[in-house]
Structure 1
């Protein structure tokens, strides 16, 4: 039997040939600030509560979980507020799976998915994975979007799905509700607002969930990976019209959320006040990073997230490597002259800033 040595020897879909899988470097460095994780561990008292609930769920793990994860959907509705109910909520193994459900239902072969580049690198990959085409729009020089320009781009592209990241990844750029309203009016298809980093926005910021009433083609996705320090648990969710949620049931795999995942997420939600206390600490370190970067001669962009994109880097690969050699891992997101760093603990932030200062140039 011959040994298959390359993808070229397999009957892969033609539209997947030449693509590369998503992958940020995973290296065992002391300070890893490259994938926008919440680097604070789950508080001990919350971890104990989560473990208790997982232990209870284990007793029935021989049975399939609640396919509708009703209790968890009720928990997310209560957490989001604004009068949302469980029938307006859906969840998955990370918000990427939720976005995949949405694109399976509303995109697919012969359809298009549109987003304003640069934006989250998984959007085109999920779109292509469902057989849809990705269409990239543009942003202003500071990565912001105006309502008129955003609406004009959407109207011209006429996509089946519009992805709007608010605040935007990898730039951290805030997005006004007026832009979302304008995009929705200009769109024929569904509009997804990805609020993965919303909890790191200023306290007075208003979520796009306030726009859901009367807009059945609008959906707002969230994740527990960032503010809830739950990246390893893989839990994301979306709020939308009940009919929109029904569409996602058509494409989900049966029992896609394990009983253990549901138990862990419910326990974390129950402790949301404690879990979210670390958000203020992370925002403090983010702002410290921005101020120090500016003092060092770099150009940090405004960020409402848990990371900072900074320009003024003469040779991003060289600076990335120099930091790597000093035990600090950050991200080269492919934007010329820029690098991105996640806001970690105070100690991790200090390690990054001291390493950067020690390099002594923009190399």
Structure 2
């Protein structure tokens, strides 16, 4: 009887966990201003800062107030930012000159410029290997740095165009290959590629999130989030998302994988019952808010975008011109679950 009672309680708790609603909502909107495009942003919980790529510089904000603390320059064509925990060292990826900038996270001053492969894009710090991995989208490779010195420790030949990556914190790194519709898996120390896993119906994967305790990868592809077993590479689900999908994060407080969609939405995906993944909420953001980061302490989610004006008249050279970003409207939007 005791065993049956324990089992019933477990099933009840598990059922209530799966049934929980995410219910994300806007908690703060801040206009930063300035001009230029944007790509990745990164929440540094330990330092209390939000690093935002913005044209040829990185805007550094207070994580709670959004007050602008400074800028990191020069970072022409900046894409990604990483900060090494427990140090005052950070890095950016600069797509135009094919370099990374090592910077002081206290003074925001550049320390040195490091050559990378072609079009460095995503970047991540891996605590297991104590290395920084720079993913060269057009170089089909990853440039590997010693995190404290910035010295190049090696190169990973990935066999495809890498985008976002995650670590299991035990020596294995997973990275989307945008042109191959795959996830590549490699060893963080030996730099040996172990697997190339197909993403089912997923095409052009960009964002990648990870539920480490449950061994699940969430890869954001064209209008779909692919859920994959990180131990076997088996595709577990393919969940529709908004259009213009780019970034992805996992919120452990709600058990939700979240995609940021350029159409102006967040798609919230949960395992609603064992083995079944559904989109449980669509959150309205603003057009262009396609990249995302999460503060692992507060579990707040941040996206960046700007206001758009009308598109210019078509020309022979540009038959389908894009809408123009309004100067001075660059902003941060912060979301939280109730």
Class of the TM-score when normalised by the shorter of the 2 chains: under 0.3
Q: Which has the higher helix share?
A: 1
**Larger Cα Rg: Structure 1 or Structure 2?**
1
Larger relative contact order (CA 8 Å, sep ≥ 6): 1
Q: Which has the higher strand share?
A: 2
TM-score normalised by L of structure 1:
0.24
